[in-house]
Structure 1
Amino acid sequence: MTSLEHIQDLRAFIAASPSSFHAARESARRLAAAGFSQLPESAEWPVYGKHFVVRDGAVIAWAVPEDATATTGFNILGAHTDSPSFKLKPKPTTGRYGWLQAGVEVYGGPLLNSWLDRELQFAGRLVDLDGRESLVATGPLLRFPQLAIHLDRAANDGLKLDKQQHMNPVWGQGNPGSEDLLGLLAARAGVDAKTIGGYDIVVADTQPGQVFGAHNEFFAAGRMDNLTSVHAGLTALINAAATDSTADTVIPVLAAFDHEEIGSGSRSGACGPILEDILTRVSDGLGASVSERRRAFANSFCVSADAGHAVHPNYAERHDPANLPVLGGGPLLKINANQRYATDATGAAIWAGLSNVTGAPYQEFVSNNDVPCGSTIGPLTATRLGIRTVDVGTPLLSMHSARELCGVDDPFHLSRITETFFRTAV
């Protein structure tokens, strides 16, 4: 596969994943097509082979080789399926002056202005009173219209958006008393609105991803934070598990969590028990004692893969002057003295070794001291499980925008290094 082929497959993956639930379903579809079997969490599990679990908007997949033992290490790629956006509130049908609007709540930390004047969709899950889930994606339906410059002459001097007053999208014309947004969503999903007991619905961009630039070196799309990492890990796991030619005995694991953008504190987030639950059950299946499980964890390694910042040509002063990663230079090795990223010297050396073996480049990222960085699932996973963890990710511009920008080569390099990682005991 070439970089361009990889990016076109990423484009299709993003288009199929307008919400975390869709991302989990698309991952499950691809895993099943590659011979992985989906396991219900309430059932007894087989020990060996290729399997996955879907829990809400998260998916965990793994492959246990026939020669695995109770102390075989887990090589884990951690990522997340959610992206900054807006989430539908209760009593969502609002509006006035002949406009139909939707009540939405800000989800995570989106760049609000980037969502203005775009054709957007609602996407997510509807759950009926019997607990059955139906996924829905409306296609172009709504828009956050910006106020015309004639009515706000100071807009270009610093646009200020009130989350409650200004971020109410329009989705039609009419009377809110006689129109029902939830009914529209139910109709699009093919279910009876009267049976809906709950919903998790977000706003998503509808514009397809696009390759562009003087030499087709750029790729723009929504939700690349962090579907670039989910897709890279998914592709790498499917490729690594397709043959028995691994030089080392390891158990490769893709852990694509939900809710990272809001702190990971959920049953499907990295602060929750989902990864430990699954690793424990795999370990139990291999006959491990508590002590042997801890030995397996000591033999394990986690790559926390999340998007990072490329140097912005118009704001270079916001970056560390000696560390200026660029698009196309390879995935980032993310470093922070305060452990906002989990990378340490040993983890950095392991990542450098994987890069060398693969023949794919990487770049180091560290924040400007005056611009504190965010965090990732890396420190959470390291803290919960005691597994050594390194933080990496695809460099982006416009992170948390409705439409982000990466280099065409970087997601491919991340997937290639991850595939090497999934085949190699570290």
Structure 2
Amino acid sequence: MSYPARFDRGHTDDLMTFLAASPTPYHAVANAAERLEKAGFRQVAETDAWDGTSGGKFVLRGGAIVAWYVPEGAGPHTPYRIVGAHTDSPNLRVKPLPDTGAHGWRQVAVEIYGGPLLNSWLDRDLGLAGRLTLRDGSTRLVSIDRPLLRVPQLAVHLDRSVSTEGLKLDKQRHLQPVWGLGGTHEGDLIAFLEEESGLQAGEITGWDLMTHSVEPPAYLGRDQELLAGPRMDNLLSVHAGTAALVAVATAAGTGTGTELPYIPVLAAFDHEENGSQSDTGADGPLLGGVLERSVFARGGTYEDRARSFAGTVCLSSDTGHAVHPNYAERHDPTHHPRANGGPILKVNVNNRYATDGAGRAVFAAACEKAGVDFQSFVSNNSMPCGTTIGPITAARHGIKTIDIGVAILSMHSVRELCGADDPFLLANALVAFLEG
């Protein structure tokens, strides 16, 4: 028997809302937490003692969130079913001394985060968002979601070779956005943010700020079969994982589903795009600490922890490459994932992805239960393969991990493209997986 909650195009509509409201990892986890709270989950502080009661709980740490639902009757050695994802996307981030400029232009000094398609950031209307740390130690989210900055491209008249030799961008010299005219004055940007946020002068003492395109997500094409939008790598998976966890927990809590044999978990980490090595990244202690504390809070021992982890499975959900109609030779000749073809199973025998044959069987069973087709993805042997949080999760925690996702075009662009059905097909597969 399956749970009745199933997703359709309305899920994709909601994804568009989620993307637009989540310009940074901090906003993404805040929005996920709000959805979880509406479903009855409660936030627990890492500094507090935890209890072993049933129900939904979550931990927030910076740009990361770990949420789990303990069903009635779960024992201390009950294994977990985890959906893993990441909240960060490549972008331009503000430097510690942000105020700069030249030749009468006022600019903001930015650093390149991750591996963005740099040309996609040119001539875009950009907003500014992130986390502010105040003098009293508290934090506040800020989002200036209107045209504020722009990285202007050099006119073709001044670079006649651009169309024949390609665009060449220096990361330091060519990507500093403009945001006004006049002289450069130290403290201008932070003073502007204090005014926008209703804060007193000098109240902001720390910041984690990044740019984002203010163009909203939109359906694309004659029949609106496609979805264009920002940060689908990897907020598409964060959104699907949140929706799936809420659906499974709600059904279990109302008694409309089968008894859960696992504890369903969502783990959405920050810093995947630059190696995951942080206190909020997949290579940090966050997930392991949360899972262990949950075991011990339910009266478990180290033996129970070992038994629980041994039976645990994680789906590492991240975007992958759909076959590109203009560059098909860059893909493996026999593996051509297509838009709206269902989620992809990502395989790499050199362990850039964590999937093996046993993991494939787990995912195939979930898709069959959900009535969802899935596709296989491998890289062209002559092209280097990217990686995900999957191998990190498997190695760090000894947890069986399978790499999956949704096939997209324009990965790491300021605006990516996927099939409009694939987000809800992924969410349905995740529900079936978390059900067990």
Displacement of 1:2: 5.2
The one of 319, 328, 335 aligned to 2:331: 319
Cross-structure match for 1:267: 279
The one of 110, 116, 126 aligned to 2:116: 110
Between the aligned partners of 2:189 and 2:300, the Cα distance in structure 1 is 52
Between the aligned partners of 2:200 and 2:372, the Cα distance in structure 1 is 51
Cross-structure match for 1:151: 158
The one of 306, 320, 342 aligned to 1:308: 320
Q: Which amino acid aligns with 1:268?
A: T
Cross-structure match for 1:329: 341
Per-residue CA distance 1:39-71 (angstroms, 9 max, x = gap): 111112232211111100001111001110011
What SS class does the counterpart of residue 95 from structure 2 fall into?
Answer: strand
Between the aligned partners of 2:187 and 2:430, the Cα distance in structure 1 is 49
Cross-structure match for 1:205: 213
Cross-structure match for 2:3: none
Between the aligned partners of 2:218 and 2:132, the Cα distance in structure 1 is 30
Q: Which amino acid aligns with 1:312?
A: H
Displacement of 1:178: 7.0
The one of 69, 77, 94 aligned to 2:75: 69
| Mapping of residues 24-43 of structure 1, within 5 Å | 24-43=29-48
The one of 238, 241, 247 aligned to 1:239: 247
* Residues 67 and 249 in structure 1, CA contact (< 8 A), matched pair in contact too: no
Between the aligned partners of 2:87 and 2:140, the Cα distance in structure 1 is 18
Between the aligned partners of 2:38 and 2:356, the Cα distance in structure 1 is 37
Per-residue CA distance 1:319-361 (angstroms, 9 max, x = gap): 0000000001011100001000000000001101111111011
Between the aligned partners of 1:58 and 1:395, the Cα distance in structure 2 is 24
* Residues 79 and 310 in structure 2, CA contact (< 8 A), matched pair in contact too: yes
Identity score, percent: 52
* Residues 71 and 299 in structure 1, CA contact (< 8 A), matched pair in contact too: no
Cross-structure match for 1:84: 90
TM-score in terms of structure 1 length: 0.98
Between the aligned partners of 2:426 and 2:110, the Cα distance in structure 1 is 35
Cross-structure match for 2:139: 133
* Residues 233 and 411 in structure 2, CA contact (< 8 A), matched pair in contact too: yes
Cross-structure match for 1:16: 21
Displacement of 1:4: 2.1
- Count residues with an aligned counterpart: 424
Between the aligned partners of 1:31 and 1:248, the Cα distance in structure 2 is 19
Displacement of 1:177: 2.3
Cross-structure match for 2:66: 60
Between the aligned partners of 1:192 and 1:5, the Cα distance in structure 2 is 42
Cross-structure match for 1:422: 434
Between the aligned partners of 1:193 and 1:275, the Cα distance in structure 2 is 38
Gaps of 5+ in 2: 1-5
Between the aligned partners of 1:179 and 1:55, the Cα distance in structure 2 is 28
The one of 171, 196, 202 aligned to 1:163: 171
What SS class does the counterpart of residue 149 from structure 2 fall into?
Answer: coil
* Residues 194 and 203 in structure 2, CA contact (< 8 A), matched pair in contact too: no
Cross-structure match for 1:298: 310
Per-residue CA distance 1:381-402 (angstroms, 9 max, x = gap): 0011101000001111000000
Gaps of 5+ in 1: none
Displacement of 1:179: 6.7
Structure 1 residues 179, 266: CA separation in 2 closer, same or farther (over 3 Å shift)? closer
Q: Which amino acid aligns with 1:59?
A: I
Between the aligned partners of 2:100 and 2:370, the Cα distance in structure 1 is 54
Between the aligned partners of 1:191 and 1:159, the Cα distance in structure 2 is 42
Cross-structure match for 1:184: 192
Q: Are 1:217 and 2:225 matched, yes or no?
A: yes
Q: Are 1:6 and 2:11 matched, yes or no?
A: yes
Between the aligned partners of 2:186 and 2:419, the Cα distance in structure 1 is 47
Between the aligned partners of 2:127 and 2:347, the Cα distance in structure 1 is 36
Displacement of 1:130: 2.1
TM-score in terms of structure 2 length: 0.95
The one of 336, 350, 353 aligned to 1:341: 353
The one of 204, 228, 239 aligned to 2:236: 228
What SS class does the counterpart of residue 138 from structure 1 fall into?
Answer: strand
* Residues 135 and 205 in structure 2, CA contact (< 8 A), matched pair in contact too: yes
Q: Which amino acid aligns with 2:8?
A: S
Between the aligned partners of 1:192 and 1:348, the Cα distance in structure 2 is 55
* Residues 7 and 425 in structure 2, CA contact (< 8 A), matched pair in contact too: no
Q: Which moved more, 1:394-403 or 1:199-208?
A: 199-208
